[in-house]
Amino acid sequence: MEKRNSVPFAKPVTWTREAIEIIRQVSRGERLSYDGEIFQLPLPGGEGKAIRSGAETAGRSLNDIDLTVSIGVEITDDLEEAGRRRTCSG
């Protein structure tokens, strides 16, 4: 994770728990505000733009948008090779 995202990943359980809580908030259509140990949303000093504003601009409602989370899972003993296959190129 650290090599791929260039951010520390010292507390994976806390990171995962907070990410799931945020995803649940978004899925329920709630206004996103989160003050966790890992994540603070909206970002301090950020604009905090809503998904709803973008949907309305596109002539859609929030119900017209499918929210997805994509993950890759690989079971291997060769961590270096798995890391090379999972590295973002972009």
Residue 33 sits at the vertex; the CA angle it makes with 30 and 39, to the nearest 5 degrees, is 125
pLDDT digits (tens, 9 = 90+) for 30-60: 888 899 998 888 887 877 766 667 777 888 8
pLDDT digits (tens, 9 = 90+) for 5-21: 566 677 888 988 999 99
Does residue 84 surpass a pLDDT of 90? no
- Mean predicted confidence (pLDDT) in 78-82: 83
The model's pTM: 0.53
The C-alpha atoms of residue 18 and residue 12 are separated, in whole angstroms, by 10
Report domain extents, the chain: 2-86
Provide the pLDDT for residue 17. Answer: 93
